[in-house]
Amino acid sequence: MMRKFSLLLAGALMGASAMSLVYGTPTSSANAAGSDTYKQLAIFGDIFERVRAQYVTPPDDKSLVENAINGMLTSLDPHSSYMNADEAADMRVQTKGEFGGLGIEVTMENNLVKVITPIDDTPAAKAGVLAGDYIAKIDGEDVNGMTLNEAVDKMRGTVGSPIKLTIIRQGADKPIELSVVRDIIKVKAVKYRVEDDVGYIKIASFTEKTYDDLQDAIANIKKQVPNDKLKGYVLDLRLNPGGLLDQAVSVSDAFLDRGEIVSTRGRDPKDVTRFDAKAGDDIDGKPLIVLINGGSASASEIVAGALQDLKRATVVGTQSFGKGSVQTIIPLGENGALRLTTALYYTPSGKSIQGKGIAPDIKVEQPLPPDLQGRDVTRGESGLKGHIKGPEESEEGSGSAAYVPPDPKDDLQLAFALQLLRGEKTDPAFPPNPQKAVFNQ
């Protein structure tokens, strides 16, 4: 028997896809390659040697092999790939939600790293880094010419090690030099606030800490708003690319008392795994509205699909991304890991959302600002070249605009949700009727 240890993940291209981590060797059920296959492999070996011997400049053997492997895997679907040792390590960091670094959320602007916000009580905040600062140099090296990932990699590092940042700040007459000592940074996967009589919870990704952060958010909202005045909750899953599947199951279970949350089905019809809810609703049956858009993918679609099918929440927004495939992560020791699509996942009603996505109960479009009008901000699995065609996929495909305004005052989808919860708007889809929950047969 092959020994297994499972780490299930669910996400879109910009993150960890729905996966299981498997240790061991291929099982005896694997199909043996035929003679024609070995002939093709012989052709590959011949071409590899000719490239090494005759290409105009000496190629790097390791790069040739890695690119050949990736070419094979990416020809299968957009989510299968080979990760070298560094990429595999980075994936583990992302899913853990904890790393050695500075504690800043950043983006790239004008060829410089722009600080969106320093995280409270982190080395960056203590050193005086401010929102809106531009990082021009990292340890004396110009940021101009780096990618955002390269800059982020340079800022992460061993806990306790120092780093020098050269910052350009509006209003300052010259660049500011700051020395920051790296520390353990715990990324908050969940943010929350109280909107008068409504609890607002935003899940940015599904890391190892998401469910714990969600419980803290719910507990703090309950402390701030008396139960008799709390109208309900908004669960914002917009722009959430996914993450750990077990966390998506736990988050769904936080709002459910019963029912199947999600199932995964592989090539073999007997290869079905089901995840069920346990008794207990963390928000005590209060009304719940889930927000989704084209940036809501995989793990976030699992949550939205479960709460929608089981009639626990009303889903508001636009069509989700439609990434419903499961990847198996096979560690290759010091050589990295193989990410291979092995199954599709299904909502409680037994529907696959691969290439289809979650359709909201109430469609509410979010207008684009003038600087984005005319640009394609639509995101969807069905638009990815080589994607696996889902059983429920149609010509309409999946996905929609992946945009959320930075200022909540401009957020029409959130405003609509708040009005529903307060009774200022009505719709037949709200509140949902649990008696009409659809269970998989």
Contact 240, 205 (CB under 8 A): yes
| Candidate list 114, 209, 311, 323, residue with the active-site label | 323
Which of 212, 240, 192, 216 has its CA nearest to residue 358? 240
Which of 422, 355, 349 has its CA nearest to residue 389? 355
Residue 186 identity? K
Strand locations in 247-347 (E)? 260-266, 272-276, 288-292, 314-317, 325-331, 337-346
Owner of token pair 């969807």: 380
Which H, E and C letters describe 169-233, residue by residue?
CCCCCCCEEEEEECEEEECCCEEEEEECCEEEEEECCECCCHHHHHHHHHHHHHHHCCCCCCCEE
Q: Cα–Cα distance between 8 and 388 in angstroms, integer?
A: 20
| Candidate list 263, 298, 382, 400, residue with the active-site label | 298
Alpha-carbon Rg of the chain, whole angstroms? 24
Residue 307: partners with Cβ closer than 8 Å, 6 or more residues away: 235, 252, 255, 256, 288, 290, 313, 315
Exposed, middle or buried by CB within 10 Å (0-12, 13-18, 19+), for 417? Answer: buried
| Candidate list 133, 213, 236, 309, residue with the active-site label | 309
Contact 355, 266 (CB under 8 A): no
Which H, E and C letters describe 12-26, residue by residue?
CCCCCCEEEECCCCC
Contact 300, 248 (CB under 8 A): yes
CA distances in angstroms from 27 to 1, 2, 3, 201, listed in the order given = 8, 7, 10, 44
Does residue 75 have an active-site annotation? no
Q: Cα–Cα distance between 325 and 78 in angstroms, integer?
A: 10
Does residue 46 have an active-site annotation? no
* Residues linked to residue 99 through DSSP beta bridges, in sequence order: 185
Pairing of strands 325-331, 272-276: unpaired
Which of 245, 263, 156 has its CA nearest to residue 208? 245
Does residue 309 have an active-site annotation? yes
Cβ atoms within 10 Å, residue 169: 16
Q: Name the residues annotated as catalytic.
A: 298, 309, 323
